[in-house]
Amino acid sequence: MSEIRDITTAKSGWEKINWVRSYMPVLNSINAEFSAARPFEGKKISMSIHLEAKTAYLALVLRAGGARVYVTGCNPLSTQDDVAAALASDGFEVYARRGVDEAEYEDHLKKTLSCCPDLIIDDGGDLTRLLHGECGDYTVNLIGGGEETTTGIHRLFARQAAGQLRFPMIDVNDADCKHLFDNRYGTGQSTLDGIMNTTNLIIAGKTVVVAGYGWCGKGIAMRGKGMGGIVVVTEIDPVKAIEAQMDGFDVMPMDKAAEKGDLFITATGCRDVIRSEHFEVMKDGVLLANAGHFDVEIDKKSLYGAAINVWERKPGITGCRMPDGRILNLLAEGRLVNLAAGNGHPAEIMDMSFALQAKCLEYLAKNGSTLENRVYQVPPEIDRAVALLKLSSMGVSIDSLSPGQEQYLKQTE
Ligand code: NAD
Ligand code: SAH
């Protein structure tokens, strides 16, 4: 029995789903393929991903492939209640409500797993964590799953290194058709979109401090610059720091950047990147936002602790008045601003990420019995097939090697 906010909002959820599906051509073609081949006939799939319209379409595609699908979110603030209602109205088991507390969030994850799934889709490792602990008994049918994001992958590799991984997982994040587009262009656009939506303030002329120059940070810095921001980058990796400097950004430690910034955006996957000594020197009115995995990149506990008053200035903006009168503004409670205060990545981007997830689950359903309990990369033929489908949907064609060129490239000298 689904646990959602309000089933009467299903119509608005369907409008959102029907809008995005017309901009997800790769998933549309997989939908047609799965409807005919039914690769998941009789299988149960549990998924924990940001529950919004594109994710709902992925759930529909998996069901078209024969699966019974159990759905929850992967962040208490990114669930869109009308989309959850749409899926529940159509026979899916959905356990998700926007704004639930930690206990209910955890309970929803467990309920999603209680069907003893054959396959999982995880985003950040919450399902995997439970299946290695409290929900260990729910692994009886488990073939394996796909992990969506960088931080989830780090945790899988840590578990594998400790010899503890109990089922095969596919590293969807590191496929080319995922991180090159989703992490970079998706996070770049949707993070600024979430910030602008929430604040209704301008980027042009602001000093935008981007912490972390990985795939997400690169996208945010690129889009911040494109909108007229003066972009500063902080890093801990010397190579990434050179890359940022040569891409035309100012690189400096957070201690220095803290004094300069008007808008701070973290995208590191690390913790306490912005902390008390930085809050002390920030300008009045600064905006603090996070685009990385979890709400620990900005040390909000210290921020709230140091403030003499913490209040909601408007939805999505927590004002923190410091003892000297300055106000520091934390967006979306320090959670992923693009999803907690926006719609996340655009449909055309999730088209590729979710096409990979769908094809990886099909791969697991076919080959699971031959796989070991370790982290696998996405098979290159799946990455290439997704790229070709995307390219053709964009009306772009490319050259191919002539036999002579192929031979030339294989020559030893
Ligand atoms: P990445 O590994 O490519 O980049 C992270 C960068 O942060 C690295 O260059 C690293 O050196 C740097 N870094 C680490 N600790 C730091 C610190 N203390 N100070 C400054 N820099 C530091 O990872 P990515 O793919 O860019 O992902 C970053 C985070 O964003 C992850 O947590 C990932 O799960 C999340 N993510 C979010 C979205 C979204 O929709 N908001 C999308 C994809 C990934
Ligand atoms: N559990 C984590 C999840 C990390 S989110 C949390 O604390 O929220 C990072 C992932 O969100 C990315 O890898 C990206 O693929 C995914 N994402 C971004 N926009 C999305 C969208 N519109 N719908 C579903 N997933 C999205």
* Ligand 2 centroid distance, CA of 73 (Å): 10
Q: Which of 78, 148, 352, 356 to mutate to test the pocket of ligand 2 (most atoms within 8 A of CB)?
A: 148
Please give the chain's pLDDT, 413 residues, in tens.
899 999 999 999 999 999 999 999 999 999 999 999 999 999 999 999 999 999 999 999 999 999 999 999 999 889 999 999 999 999 999 999 999 999 999 999 999 999 999 999 999 999 999 999 999 999 999 999 999 999 999 999 999 999 999 999 999 999 999 999 999 999 999 999 999 999 999 999 999 999 999 999 999 999 999 999 999 999 999 999 999 999 999 999 999 999 999 999 999 999 999 999 999 999 999 999 999 988 999 999 999 999 999 999 999 999 999 999 999 999 999 999 999 898 899 999 999 999 999 999 999 999 998 999 999 999 999 999 999 999 999 999 999 999 999 999 999 98
Domain contains 278: yes
Q: Which domain holds residue 255?
A: 185-340
Q: Which of 339, 349, 351, 378 to mutate to test the pocket of ligand 2 (most atoms within 8 A of CB)?
A: 339
Residue with tokens 């996957």: 269
CA angle 331, 336, 342 (to 5 degrees): 75
Going from the C-alpha of 400 to that of each of 394, 403, 405, the distances in angstroms are: 18, 10, 9
Same domain for 131 and 247: no
> Are 104 and 77 a contacting pair, CB within 8 Å?
no
Confidence (pLDDT) at 343: 87
The residue whose CA has the least distance to atom 8 of ligand 2 is 75
Q: Which of 177, 183, 337, 339 to mutate to test the pocket of ligand 1 (most atoms within 8 A of CB)?
A: 183
**DSSP H or E segment with residue 290:** strand 287-290
Instruction: Give the ligand at the shortest distance from the Cα of 153.
Output: 1
Residue with tokens 């004002």: 319
Ligand 2 atom with the shortest distance to the CA of 126: 1
Residues 6+ apart with CB under 8 A from 257: 209, 232, 234, 264
> Are 186 and 202 a contacting pair, CB within 8 Å?
no
Order across the sheet with 207-211: list the strands. Answer: 250-251, 230-234, 207-211, 263-266, 287-290, 327-331, 317-321, 309-314
> Are 26 and 393 a contacting pair, CB within 8 Å?
yes
* Ligand 2 centroid distance, CA of 48 (Å): 10
Same domain for 320 and 219: yes
Query: 52 CB less than 6 Å from ligand 2?
Result: yes
> Are 122 and 112 a contacting pair, CB within 8 Å?
no
> Are 365 and 40 a contacting pair, CB within 8 Å?
yes
Query: Could you tell me the pTM of the whole model?
Result: 0.94
Domain contains 407: no
Query: 74 CB less than 6 Å from ligand 2?
Result: yes
Same domain for 213 and 142: no
Amino acid 72 reads: T
Ligand 2 atom with the shortest distance to the CA of 78: 8
Confidence (pLDDT) at 158: 97
Q: Which of 295, 323, 340 is the last residue of a domain?
A: 340
Domain contains 266: yes
CA distance 365 to 369: 9
Same domain for 350 and 334: no
Query: 48 CB less than 6 Å from ligand 2?
Result: no
Same domain for 373 and 305: no
* CATH number, domain with residue 283: 3.40.50.720
Same domain for 144 and 203: no
Residues 6+ apart with CB under 8 A from 139: 116, 131, 166, 167
Same domain for 219 and 111: no
Domain contains 408: no
Confidence (pLDDT) at 27: 98
Same domain for 301 and 371: no
Describe the crossing of helices 347-367 and 10-21 by its angle, rounded to 10 degrees.
90
CA distance 313 to 397: 50
The residue whose CA has the least distance to atom 9 of ligand 2 is 149
Same domain for 22 and 116: yes
- The alpha carbon of residue 28 and the mean position of all alpha carbons in its chain are separated, in whole angstroms, by 21
Instruction: Give the ligand at the shortest distance from the Cα of 53.
Output: 2
Query: 118 CB less than 6 Å from ligand 2?
Result: no
Domain contains 401: no
Domain contains 244: yes
Confidence (pLDDT) at 293: 84
Q: Which of 279, 314, 340 is the last residue of a domain?
A: 340
Same domain for 207 and 295: yes
Domain contains 404: no
Same domain for 233 and 322: yes
CA angle 255, 261, 266 (to 5 degrees): 75
* Number of domain units in the chain: 2
Q: Which of 313, 340, 367 is the last residue of a domain?
A: 340
Domain contains 351: yes
Same domain for 225 and 310: yes
> Are 20 and 53 a contacting pair, CB within 8 Å?
yes
Confidence (pLDDT) at 51: 97
Q: Which of 50, 74, 129, 345 to mutate to test the pocket of ligand 2 (most atoms within 8 A of CB)?
A: 50
* CATH number, domain with residue 128: 3.40.50.1480
